[in-house]
Amino acid sequence: MSDPERLLIRLPTWVGDAVMATPALRAVRRDLPHTRIALMGGAHLEPLLADADLFDDWIATASGSGKVAANIAAIHNFGADVALLLPHSFRTAWEIWRASVPRRIGLRGQLRGWLLTDPLRRHRLPPGRRAIPMHHEYLEVVASLGASGDGIGSRLGVGEEVVVAATRRLDALSIGCDRDWIGFHPGAAFGPSKIWPLDRMARVARTLRDEDGCGIVITCGPGEEPLARQLRDLVGGEVVDLSEDLWPLDQLKVLMGRLALLVTGDTGPRHIAAGMGTPQVVLMGPTSPDYTDAYLETTRVIRREDVDCSPCQQKVCPLGHHQCMTFIEPEAVIEEVRRWLARAADSAEGAERA
Of the listed ranges 94-98, 276-280, 286-290, 343-347, the least confidently predicted one is 343-347
Pair 12, 94 in one domain: yes
Pair 265, 137 in one domain: no
What are the DSSP calls for 59-121, one per residue? EEPP-STTHHHHHHHHHHHHT-SEEEE-S--HHHHHHHHHTT-SEEEEE--TT-GGG-SEEEP
Phi, psi at 182, each rounded to 5°:
-110, 125
Pair 184, 321 in one domain: yes
The verdict on residue 174 lying in a domain is: yes
Residue 185: its H or E element: strand 181-185
Q: Tell me which DSSP letter residue 242 carries.
A: G
Q: How far is Cα 140 from Cα 146, in angstroms, rounded to an integer?
A: 10
Last residue of a domain, one of 83, 109, 143: 143
Contacts of 273 (CB under 8 A, 6+ apart): 183, 256, 259, 262, 264, 279, 280, 298
Q: Secondary structure of 138-182 in the HEC alphabet?
A: HHHHHHCCCCCCCCCCCCCCCCHHHHHHHHHHHHHCCCCCCCCEE
Q: Tell me which DSSP letter residue 330 carries.
A: H
Residue 135: its H or E element: helix 134-143
The verdict on residue 162 lying in a domain is: no
The verdict on residue 1 lying in a domain is: no
Pair 138, 230 in one domain: no
pLDDT at 36 over 90: yes
Percent of the chain with pLDDT strictly greater than 90: 84
The verdict on residue 163 lying in a domain is: no
Last residue of a domain, one of 74, 109, 143: 143
SS3 288: coil
For the domain that residue 335 is a member of, what is the CATH number?
3.40.50.2000
Instruction: Please write the tens of the pLDDT for every residue from 281-317.
Output: 999 989 999 999 999 999 999 998 888 889 988 999 9
Pair 31, 110 in one domain: yes
Report pLDDT for 1.
61
Pair 139, 215 in one domain: no
pLDDT at 236 over 70: yes
- Summarize the confidence of residues 33-48 as an average pLDDT: 97
The verdict on residue 206 lying in a domain is: yes
Range(s) of the domain holding residue 68: 6-143
Pair 74, 173 in one domain: no
Instruction: Please write the tens of the pLDDT for every residue from 260-282.
Output: 999 999 999 999 999 999 999 99
Sign of CA dihedral 76, 80, 83, 87: negative
Pair 180, 318 in one domain: yes
Pair 206, 301 in one domain: yes
Contacts of 5 (CB under 8 A, 6+ apart): 35, 36, 81
Instruction: Please write the tens of the pLDDT for every residue from 138-181.
Output: 999 999 999 999 999 999 999 999 999 999 999 999 999 889 99
Q: In what order do the strands lie in the sheet with 215-218?
A: 240-241, 215-218, 181-185, 261-265, 280-283, 299-302
Residue type, 169: R
Residue 280: its H or E element: strand 280-283
Q: How far is Cα 41 from Cα 254, in angstroms, rounded to an integer?
A: 22
Give residue 126's pLDDT band: very low, low, confident or very high (50, 70, 90).
Answer: confident
Last residue of a domain, one of 143, 159, 192: 143
Pair 110, 65 in one domain: yes
Instruction: Please write the tens of the pLDDT for every residue from 42-90.
Output: 999 999 999 999 999 999 999 888 999 999 999 999 999 999 999 999 9
Q: In what order do the strands lie in the sheet with 57-60?
A: 57-60, 36-41, 6-10, 82-85, 103-107, 118-120
Pair 65, 108 in one domain: yes
What are the DSSP calls for 200-217, one per residue? HHHHHHHHHHHHH--EEE
**Among the listed residues 85, 122, 94, the one whose alpha carbon sits nearest the alpha carbon of residue 7:** 85
Domain count, the chain: 2
Q: How far is Cα 144 from Cα 147, in angstroms, rounded to an integer?
A: 7
Q: How far is Cα 317 from Cα 322, in angstroms, rounded to an integer?
A: 6
Contacts of 318 (CB under 8 A, 6+ apart): 309, 312
The verdict on residue 161 lying in a domain is: no
Pair 95, 179 in one domain: no
The verdict on residue 200 lying in a domain is: yes
The verdict on residue 148 lying in a domain is: no
